[in-house]
């Protein structure tokens, strides 16, 4: 019998039994120890008795004993890597490869630096290990409640050369005292009473399949507790049931009301992935971001630790105050007293190149303030405005260092402040920085021009 005859004959039998014909191909490769190219080039060659015996044993397990192909071969390819699998772990699915791909894309978009990642309920380790192999800057921790699953994941990490950590425990419990930039999970999500294929139900661990009465049990647990284990700017990524995207989004916004929630369809056009992006700054965090005129260094407006960091980087006199960038009139009103004149000017000229010095409502705005005033501005730059809407007002100064050229190039800023600040926002807008300073008006008593810059005094006087 030739390989072609054996393949065709067995394929017909598989179809009669409502089994996958692809399994015949995989098991024939496995039994003959050939790769795809070798198999097709030898289709008309006679099959040896040893191969026929091995193949019959394997195909009978699949066709008549209902054992998955992956448990017969012991291997499932995932993202180009061969993962060892058995009945202690869920067999990795193609949809999960798409989850990994979308995590990597989101990481490139929002982080692009060394990050701490946790894979909750890792099973075979396919997600966490693949992330580490694809992006070495990810420091990956994998958890699972199952000792057997963790042993299989450790086996895969060693086999594939992935330097990752493992913790055993239920959901987030083993992570006490740890904080991560990225949390990913493909938790059990089949509703308890839902009928599933016997091939799956009879061979894969139930603990990895069923997610409570509505399939959302583990998403509720993770989202309700996640803040405790996440840094201020973070990404949460889930795979889930294709019919649960609405409920997952509602849960995400319940616990992370300011998050950006992206829901992504899989290759079969089913709603299969949700990525939750939180951009709120952590306490003590220092960032660099584009404004209208220059890149700025920013810290939360009441954050003394981060403001001290700015002072250290800039060698700045502690008696000098920061300008405060706000997203809108409402944010300014939270910080300062605004009379009718100031409101008219704000409504006319902001966002734009105008800074107003106003009476502060809270003297703690500036930890180094010499009086109770605050200088506020609303920038035009879309990245700056988005940051301010997400984080509230930011105490800000330029990234420029004394005696050096202005720093407006992302790559130069990244090199200059390497390991000195927490995050630098790249600017894909191609907006040219004006380098024209803002006009500064003191409105704490009579209107007084401190510096005339982008907006002329005569324009301001016309409004009031």
Q: Give the pLDDT confidence score for residue 438 in this predicted structure.
A: 87
Q: By three-state DSSP, how is residue 92 classified? A: coil
Q: How far is it, in rounded angstroms, from Cα 352 to Cα 456? A: 12
Distance CA 24, CA 440 (A): 76
337 vs 215 pLDDT, higher one: 337
Write the DSSP symbol of residue 271: E
Strand order from edge to edge, sheet including 295-300: 423-424, 287-290, 295-300, 394-398, 323-325, 373-377, 354-359, 439-442, 448-451
Residue 358: pLDDT band with limits 50, 70, 90:
very high
Q: Residue 366's CB: how many other CB atoms inside 10 A?
A: 24
Extract the tokens encoding 439: 């006009």
Instruction: Name the pLDDT band for 318 (thresholds 50, 70, 90).
Output: low
Q: Is the pLDDT of residue 369 over 50?
A: no
Looking at 279, 307, 339, the residue that finishes a domain is: 279
Residue 159 sits in the same domain as residue 211 = yes
Q: What is the pLDDT of residue 79?
A: 93
Q: Please answer whether residues 184 and 126 qualify as being in contact, where contact means their C-beta atoms are separated by less than 8 angstroms.
A: no
When pLDDT is averaged across residues 200-228 and rounded to a whole number, the result is 69
pLDDT of 280 > 90? The answer is no
Q: Please report the pLDDT score of residue 122 as a whole number.
A: 93
For residue 308, what are the domain limits? Answer: 287-463
In a domain, 70, yes or no: no
Residue listed under structure tokens 């009579």: 446
Q: Which of 37-51, 116-130, 429-443 has the highest mean pLDDT?
A: 116-130
Q: Are residues 216 and 116 in the same domain?
A: yes
Residues 426 and 317 grouped into a single domain: yes
Contact 5, 24 (CB under 8 A): no
Residue 434 has pLDDT above 80, yes or no: no
| Same domain for 293 and 197 | no
Q: Is residue 165 situated within a structural domain? A: yes
Answer yes or no: are the C-beta atoms of 153 and 166 closer than 8 Å. Answer: yes
Of residues 182, 171, 167, the one with CA closest to residue 134: 182
**Mean local confidence (pLDDT), 293-297:** 88
The candidate with the shortest Cα–Cα distance to 34, out of 57, 10, 7, is: 7
Number of domains in the chain: 3
pLDDT of residue 267: 87
Terminal-to-terminal C-alpha distance of the chain? 97
Domain assignment present for residue 124? The answer is yes
> Which ranges constitute the DSSP H helices of 17-48?
21-32, 36-41
Average pLDDT over residues 439-450: 90
> Is 173 inside a domain boundary?
yes
Mean pLDDT calculated for residue range 89-104? 91
* Judgement on whether residues 327 and 208 belong to the same structural domain of the protein: no
Summarize pLDDT for 29-80 with one digit per residue, the tens: 889 988 888 888 989 999 999 999 999 998 998 888 888 888 888 888 899 9
Q: What is the pLDDT of residue 198?
A: 54
b/e per residue 136-154 (b: at least 16 CB within 10 A): eebbbbbbbbbeebbebbe
Using the predicted structure, report yes or no on whether residue 200 has a pLDDT greater than 70: no
Residue 90 within a domain: yes
pLDDT tens track for 384-411? 998 898 889 999 998 988 777 778 888 8
What's the mean pLDDT in 11-34?
87
Same domain, 152 and 13: no
- 319 within domain boundaries: yes
Confidence (pLDDT) at 428: 79
Of 8-12, 231-235, 375-379, 435-439, give the lowest mean pLDDT range: 435-439
DSSP 78-113: ETTEEEE--TTSPPP-HHHHHHHHHHHHHHHHHT-S
Q: Running DSSP on this structure, what letter comes out for residue 400?
A: P
With residue 129 as reference, give the H or E element that holds it: helix 126-134
Backbone angles phi, psi at 112, to 5 degrees: 55, 40
Q: Is residue 13 located within the same domain as residue 146?
A: no
Strand runs (DSSP E) across 56-95, as ranges? 75-78, 81-84
Question: 321 and 233, same structural domain?
Answer: no
Q: What is the pLDDT, as a whole number, of residue 202? A: 47
Specify whether the CB–CB gap between 276 and 252 falls below 8 A.
Answer: yes
Same domain, 311 and 387: yes
Q: What CATH code is carried by the domain that includes residue 239?
A: 3.40.50.150
Of the residues 279, 296, 325, the one at which a domain ends: 279
Asked if residue 264 and residue 131 are part of one domain, the reply reads yes
The CATH number of the domain where 341 resides is what? 3.90.870.10
Q: In the predicted model, what is the mean pLDDT of the chain?
A: 87
- The pLDDT value recorded for residue 319 is 60
Of 43, 65, 87, the position where a domain reaches its end is 65
pLDDT at 156 over 90: yes
Cα–Cα distance measured from residue 464 to residue 445, given in angstroms and rounded to the nearest whole number: 14
CA distance linking residue 236 with residue 185, whole number of Å? 8
Same domain, 128 and 244: yes
Please give the average per-residue pLDDT across 159-178, as a whole number.
95
How distant is the alpha carbon of residue 76 from its chain centre? Answer: 26
Over residues 178-202, the mean pLDDT reads 72
Q: Is 45 helix (H, G, I), strand (E, B) or coil?
A: coil
In a domain, 80, yes or no: yes
222 and 362 in a single domain? The answer is: no
Residue 455 lies in a domain: yes
């Amino acid at each position: 019998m030739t390989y072609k005859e054996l393949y065709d004959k067995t394929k017909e039998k598989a179809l009669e039994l409502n089994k996958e014909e692809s399994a015949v191909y995989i098991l024939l490769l496995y039994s003959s120890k050939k790769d795809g190219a070798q198999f097709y080039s030898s289709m008309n060659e006679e099959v040896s008795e040893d191969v026929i015996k091995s193949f019959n044993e394997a195909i009978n397990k699949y066709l008549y004993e209902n054992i998955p192909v992956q448990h017969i071969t012991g291997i499932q390819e995932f993202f180009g890597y061969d993962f060892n699998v058995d009945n202690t772990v869920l067999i990795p699915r193609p949809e999960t490869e798409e989850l990994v791909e979308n995590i990597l894309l989101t990481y490139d978009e929002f982080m692009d630096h060394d990050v701490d990642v946790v894979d909750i309920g890792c099973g075979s380790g396919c997600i966490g290990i693949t992330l580490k192999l694809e992006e070495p800057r990810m420091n990956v921790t994998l958890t699972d409640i199952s000792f057997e699953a963790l042993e299989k994941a450790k086996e895969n990490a060693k086999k594939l050369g992935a330097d990752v950590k493992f913790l055993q425990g239920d959901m987030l419990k083993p992570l006490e005292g740890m904080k991560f930039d990225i949390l990913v999970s493909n938790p059990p999500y089949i509703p308890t009473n839902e009928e599933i294929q016997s091939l799956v139900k009879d061979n894969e661990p139930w603990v990895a399949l069923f997610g409570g009465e509505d399939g959302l049990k583990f998403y509720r647990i993770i989202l309700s507790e996640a803040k405790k284990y996440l840094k201020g700017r973070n990404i949460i990524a889930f795979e889930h049931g294709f019919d649960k995207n609405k409920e997952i989004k509602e849960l995400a916004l319940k616990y992370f009301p300011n998050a950006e929630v992206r829901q992504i369809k899989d290759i079969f056009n089913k709603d299969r992935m949700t990525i939750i992006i939180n951009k709120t700054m952590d306490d003590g965090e220092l960032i660099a971001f584009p404004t209208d005129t220059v890149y700025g260094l920013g810290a939360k407006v009441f954050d003394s630790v981060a403001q001290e960091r700015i002072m250290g980087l800039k060698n700045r006199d502690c008696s000098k105050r920061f300008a405060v960038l706000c997203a809108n009139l409402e944010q300014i009103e939270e910080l300062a007293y605004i009379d009718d004149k100031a409101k008219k000017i704000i409504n006319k000229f902001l966002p734009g190149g105008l800074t107003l010095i106003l009476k502060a409502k809270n003297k703690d705005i500036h930890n180094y303030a010499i009086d109770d005033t605050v200088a506020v501005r609303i920038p035009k730059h879309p990245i700056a405005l988005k940051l301010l809407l997400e984080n509230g007002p930011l105490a800000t100064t330029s990234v420029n260092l004394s005696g050096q050229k202005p720093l407006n190039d992302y790559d130069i800023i990244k090199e200059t402040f390497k390991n000195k600040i927490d995050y630098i926002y790249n600017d894909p807008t191609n907006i040219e920085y004006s380098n024209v300073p803002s006009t500064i008006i003191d409105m704490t008593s009579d209107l007084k021009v401190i510096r005339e810059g982008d907006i002329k005094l005569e324009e301001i006087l016309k409004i009031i």
